[in-house]
């Protein structure tokens, strides 16, 4: 077993690798997912818990559909929309404003607001440090560091201030139509970060600090009450729907098989097919008998040799030479088979040959014409060579 | 693990799976079909389980034995028997794959049969080895399936066995009988009219047509009232050496047997007949040097020695050196002998190179040069040519064939006997020549 040391070495390598990987510890994931089942810093697991506490156990659920779909499906719940970028299409916007007009509360948090929302509500958002929220190391340093922003809220006539790491406060509203909005919170630069739209029956609340509603800041003692105060804008005892579509998309299985998997009958067929394939691989790949190594059989190359020689002669195009060879062979054949002398191809010879071979004397005469033609030392053309081949085949009885 | 190794599936399994999948797909459009499909699915699972149970509840339910001789004969069909017994309580379908020696390069030999409970059957098949040497048989794989035929179980039975492939002793026996019983006419060996009478008197026997009427014993005829003739013994204790050229020219295979093996087979046949006729037989093999020399002798064990000697011949196919052969013969073979030289000449010029040595050998011995017609090239000659290039090829083939006949003439001119033979008829022609030379008393 000289293979054993390789196996041992391989196993040792794997163990060392696993050990090193374990020592490294798990690295934190600083992506902003806003997903209700993520416990990473910028997920919203804690936020959902907080909402459940606040809204007296009326369930908070998540949806992965667009506002348009939600509104058309006859949804009645209040909406929480969190995403890094909020960009509604015109149809969505129309449905959204319509939804708010039906007396619902919608809180929209986004670092950037693009598209129709800005124009129809007339405000201009601003992102001060766009890179900061995308560079993971920068986020960590920032959170650990002393760079803070004071956010002052003005809710229900009570002013409170919270100090946020500047990760959460990279964007704000630069300018807005004061007729349309009530400002609920500002940053140090007196720019609004939380405002309420006035022109509708329900409540439409915009915030440029979606991160303030994520696990990190919800669980952080200094900032947790900011989150709860924002969430308390939802009316109590009404369920909330967290629309995650704008950050995560559909979040359903992306596989092209989803249609197949959706139907029970097809799903069965699919799984049986896959299972059968697996069985096929495992069972049909088994040997039925031992390996038989390839041994090349010896080849008889004499025919190839003759063909090569033939080609060489053919290149020289010396038809006469070849015809002479063939005549020699023919004479030998006649001597051997019919015991006739071939030194004088006279009429007597022709008769004898016809009698002995039983062939038509005319054919033999024609053959002898060709042969004498060769014997006389004339040039032989290609056609004559072919003709001779025909005549000889008839003589030898080759079909 | 052993279970996984021994279990195989049939095509029926996959057809069934395919059918059930199809039904499920149809069930997408017609939901009631789904119910049928599900039912079938569970039924199939049940069938598989039942099938496995049927196959695996009996331990060692198949017995098999491979019967063959210890030695195989090269170039002949050697019979092999497989005896199979079914100990299961049910009828089984069997697929038998015998692991043949790798030299045969056979990968698709499968026997299918069906056995009722307790039945014993035999499979007969033949293999034709074309190389001397050790042949290793593996085990016998038996795949059994029940009437359900969804799952198959593999048994690996029988013993691994090594068989030695010897020069063709089957041919040896065949020709021996014929040569001794003078029935070689049926193989084209013609009775030679005896010339001269330098023979020892042996017996008086009944005249049969073909006997020399000058040897009629008139007194005995008068006594018995039947024609009687005197029979004379052939001369005995003459030496017959089979000299085998192991050089490059003998590598060419015909019907996958190399010329060398044809020569070896023929040497065995001729040695055997020579020994039976009371002559001494010996073997010499040579290529770039003389490889081996088994001195001619008429001892009882000589034939076995020859067989082993021929079996062990290794092949290198180097360039032959006739001078070495001449020297060896000069030194070692002092008595005038019949030298049967198995070689091959493709052209007159090839012969001319060796002719001086052949003539030297001929001065001391009766030399018979045996060489081969190229049957592959002769096939070319006997087929019509379709275009000019083929005419050329055919012309060259005819020239080569003609050259072989010229070689015979050339040898004859120097008093050397020769045999020009197709490889297949080598043994017969060699025996013929030997008998002819014996009866002409030329040795």
* Tens of pLDDT, residues B38-80: 999 999 999 999 999 999 998 888 999 999 999 999 989 999 9
Sorted by sequence, the CB contacts under 8 Å of residue A296 that are 6+ apart come out as none
CATH code for the part of the protein at B169-186+236-440: 3.40.50.410
Place of tokens 């006469």: A320
- For B376, which of A272, A300, A389 is closest by C-beta distance? A300
pLDDT at B213: 84
Residues of chain B neighbouring A298 (CB-CB closer than 8 A): 251-253, 256, 258
State whether B21 and A272 contact (CB < 8 Å): yes
Distance from CA of B93 to the nearest CA of A (A): 16
| CA angle, B317 then B319 then B323, to 5° | 130
Find the distance separating the first CA and the last CA of chain B, reported in whole Å.
Answer: 71
Q: What are phi and psi of B355, to 5 degrees?
A: -55, -40
Q: B409: how many CB neighbours lie within 10 A of its CB?
A: 10
Question: Domain locations in chain B?
Answer: 1-166, 169-186+236-440, 199-234
Cα B191 from Cα B431, distance rounded (Å): 12
Which of A302, A325, A389 has its CB closest to that of B399?
A325
CA triple A178-A180-A181, angle to 5 deg? 70
> Can you give the pLDDT at residue B23?
93
Picking from A332, A389, A392, the residue whose alpha carbon sits closest to that of residue B403 is A332
**Cβ atoms of B138 and B104 closer than 8 Å:** no
Q: How many helices (H) and strands (E) does chain B have?
A: 12, 21
The pLDDT score that the predictor gives to residue A32 is 83
Distance from CA of A218 to the nearest CA of B (A): 48
The candidate with the shortest Cα–Cα distance to B264, out of B338, B340, B186, B327, is: B340
The pair of structure tokens assigned to B276 is 């039976």
- Count CB neighbours of B136 within 10 A: 14
Q: Which residues of A touch B34 (CB under 8 A)?
A: 264-265, 268
- What chain A holds in terms of domains, given with CATH numbers, is 26-248 (3.40.50), 316-396 (no CATH)
Residues of A within 8 A of B38 (CB-CB) are 268
pLDDT value at position B196?
Answer: 43
Q: Report the topology of domain B1-166.
A: Immunoglobulin-like (2.60.40)
How far, in Å, are A294, B20, B36, B149 from residue B25 at the CA level?
Answer: 45, 9, 12, 26
Q: Where are the beta strands (DSSP E) in chain A?
A: 60-63, 78-88, 105-115, 123-127, 148-155, 158-165, 171-176, 181-186, 192-197, 203-207, 240-243
Contact B343, B285 (CB under 8 A): no
Contact assessment for residue A125 and residue A118, using Cβ atoms and an 8 Å cutoff: yes
Return the residue of A nearest to B406 by Cα. A332
Q: Do B388 and A385 touch (CB under 8 A)?
A: yes
Nearest to B44 by CA among B12, B76, B69: B12
Query: Are the beta carbons of B58 and B92 closer than 8 angstroms?
Result: no
Beta strands in B366-442 (DSSP E): 366-372, 417-421
Closest by Cβ to B28, choosing from A265, A295, A299: A265
Residue of A nearest to B9 (CA): A283
| pLDDT per position as a tens digit, B249-261 | 999 999 889 999 9
Tokens of A357: 């071979």
DSSP string, A348-399: HHHHHHHHHH---HHHHHHHHHHHHHHHTT----HHHHHHHHHHHHHHHT--
Q: Which residues of A touch B22 (CB under 8 A)?
A: 269
Lowest mean pLDDT across A219-233, B198-212, B342-356: B198-212
Q: Does B254 touch chain A (CB under 8 A)?
A: yes
User: Is the pLDDT assigned to residue B221 strictly greater than 70?
Assistant: yes
- Number of helices (H), then strands (E), in chain A: 16, 11
Using a CB–CB cutoff of 8 Å, tell me whether B3 touches chain A: no
**Cβ within 8 Å of residue B400, ≥6 positions away:** A306, B346, B347, B374, B377
CA distance A65 to chain B (A): 27
State the angle between helix axes of B31-56 and B11-29 in degrees (0 to 180), rounded to the nearest 10: 160
Q: Note down pLDDT in tens along chain A; length 399 residues.
A: 567 889 999 999 999 999 988 887 667 788 888 888 888 888 898 888 888 888 766 678 888 888 888 888 888 888 999 988 888 888 888 888 888 888 889 999 988 888 788 888 888 888 777 666 666 777 777 777 777 888 888 877 778 888 888 888 888 888 888 888 888 888 888 888 888 888 788 889 999 888 889 998 889 888 888 888 888 888 888 888 898 888 888 766 666 777 777 888 888 899 999 999 999 999 989 988 899 999 888 888 899 999 999 999 999 888 999 999 999 999 999 999 999 998 888 889 999 999 999 989 999 999 999 999 998 888 889 899 999 999 999 999 887
Closest partner CB to A272 (pick from B17, B391, B402): B17
Nearest to B391 among A297, A332, A389 (CB): A389
- Report chain B residues whose CB lies below 8 A from the CB of A271: none
Half-sphere exposure of A266 (CA within 13 A, CB side): 9
Residues of A in contact with B405 (CB under 8 A): 332, 336
Q: Please give the full DSSP string across B100-153, using - where no structure is assigned.
A: --GGG------EEEEE-TT-EEEEEEEE---S-EEEEE--EEEEEE-SS-SEEE
């Amino acid at each position: 077993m000289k293979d054993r040391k390789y196996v041992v070495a391989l196993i040792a390598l794997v163990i060392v690798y696993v050990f090193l990987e374990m020592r490294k510890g798990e690295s934190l994931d600083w992506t902003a997912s806003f997903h209700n089942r993520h416990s990473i810093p910028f997920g919203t697991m804690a936020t959902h818990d907080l909402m459940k506490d606040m809204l007296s156990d009326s369930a908070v659920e998540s949806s992965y559909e667009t506002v348009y779909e939600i509104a058309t499906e006859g949804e009645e719940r209040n909406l929480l929309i969190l995403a890094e970028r909020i960009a509604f299409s015109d149809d969505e916007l129309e449905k959204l404003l319509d939804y708010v007009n039906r007396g619902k509360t919608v809180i929209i948090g986004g670092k950037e607001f693009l598209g129709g929302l800005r124009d129809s509500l007339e405000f201009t958002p601003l992102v001060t440090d766009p890179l900061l929220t995308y560079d993971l190391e920068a986020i960590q340093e920032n959170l650990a560091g002393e760079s803070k922003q004071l956010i002052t809220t003005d809710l229900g006539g009570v002013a409170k201030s919270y100090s946020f790491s500047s990760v959460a406060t990279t964007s704000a509203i630069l300018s807005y139509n004061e007729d349309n909005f009530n400002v609920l919170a500002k940053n140090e630069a007196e720019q609004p970060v939380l405002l309420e739209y006035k022109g509708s029956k329900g409540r439409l609340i915009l915030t440029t600090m979606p991160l303030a509603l994520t696990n990190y800041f919800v669980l952080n003692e200094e900032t947790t009450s900011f989150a709860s105060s924002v969430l308390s804008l939802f009316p109590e005892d009404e369920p909330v729907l967290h629309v995650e579509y704008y950050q995560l998309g559909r979040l359903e299985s992306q596989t092209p098989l989803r249609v197949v998997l959706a139907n029970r009958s097809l799903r069965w067929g699919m799984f049986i097919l896959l299972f059968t394939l697996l069985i096929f691989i495992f069972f049909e790949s088994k040997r039925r008998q031992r390996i038989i190594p390839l041994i090349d059989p010896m080849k008889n190359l004499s025919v190839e040799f003759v063909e090569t020689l033939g080609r060489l002669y053919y290149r020289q195009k010396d038809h006469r030479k070849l015809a002479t060879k063939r005549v020699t062979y023919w004479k030998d054949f006649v001597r051997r088979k019919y015991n006739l002398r071939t030194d004088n191809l006279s009429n007597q010879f022709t008769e004898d040959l016809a009698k002995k071979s039983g062939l038509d004397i005319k054919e033999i005469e024609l053959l002898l014409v060709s042969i004498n033609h060769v014997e006389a030392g004339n040039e032989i053309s290609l056609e004559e060579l072919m003709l001779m081949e025909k005549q000889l085949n008839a003589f030898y009885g080759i079909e | 693990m052993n279970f996984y190794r021994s279990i195989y599936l049939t095509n029926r399994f996959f057809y069934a799976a395919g059918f059930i999948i199809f039904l499920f797909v149809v069930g997408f459009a017609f939901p009631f079909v789904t119910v049928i499909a599900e039912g079938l699915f569970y039924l199939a699972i049940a069938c598989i389980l039942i099938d496995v149970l049927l196959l695996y509840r009996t331990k060692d339910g198949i017995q098999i034995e491979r019967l063959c001789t210890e030695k195989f004969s090269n170039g002949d069909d050697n019979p092999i028997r497989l005896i199979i017994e079914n100990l299961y309580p049910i009828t089984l379908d069997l697929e038998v794959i015998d692991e043949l020696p790798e030299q045969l390069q056979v990968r698709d030999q499968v026997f299918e049969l069906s056995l009722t409970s307790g039945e014993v059957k035999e499979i007969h098949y033949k293999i034709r080895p074309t190389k001397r040497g050790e042949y290793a048989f593996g085990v016998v794989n038996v795949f059994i399936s029940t009437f359900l035929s969804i799952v198959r179980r593999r048994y690996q039975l029988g013993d691994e066995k090594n068989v030695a492939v010897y020069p063709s002793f089957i041919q040896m026996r065949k020709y021996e009988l014929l040569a001794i019983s003078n029935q070689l006419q049926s193989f084209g060996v013609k009775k030679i009219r005896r010339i001269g009478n330098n023979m020892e008197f042996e017996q008086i026997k009944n005249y049969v047509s073909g006997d020399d009427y000058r040897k009629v014993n008139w007194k005995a005829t008068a006594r018995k009232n039947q024609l009687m003739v005197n029979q004379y013994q052939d001369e005995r204790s003459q030496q017959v050496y089979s000299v085998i050229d192991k050089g490059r020219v003998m590598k060419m295979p015909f019907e996958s047997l190399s010329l060398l093996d044809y020569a070896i087979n023929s040497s065995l046949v001729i040695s055997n007949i020579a020994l039976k006729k009371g002559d001494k037989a010996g073997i010499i093999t040579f290529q770039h040097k003389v490889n081996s020399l088994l001195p001619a002798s008429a001892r009882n064990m000589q034939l076995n020695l020859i067989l082993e000697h021929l079996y062990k011949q290794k092949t290198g196919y180097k360039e032959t050196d006739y001078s070495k052969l001449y020297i060896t013969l000069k030194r070692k073979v002092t008595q005038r002998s019949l030298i049967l030289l198995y070689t091959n000449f493709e052209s007159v010029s090839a012969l001319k190179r060796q002719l001086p040595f052949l003539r030297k050998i001929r001065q001391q011995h009766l030399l018979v040069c045996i060489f081969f017609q190229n049957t592959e090239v002769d096939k070319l000659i006997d087929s019509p040519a379709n275009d000019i290039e083929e005419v050329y090829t055919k012309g060259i083939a005819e020239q080569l064939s003609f050259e072989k006949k010229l070689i015979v003439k050339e040898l004859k001119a120097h008093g050397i006997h020769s045999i020009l033979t197709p490889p297949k008829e080598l043994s017969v022609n060699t025996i013929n020549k030997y008998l002819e030379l014996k009866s002409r008393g030329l040795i």
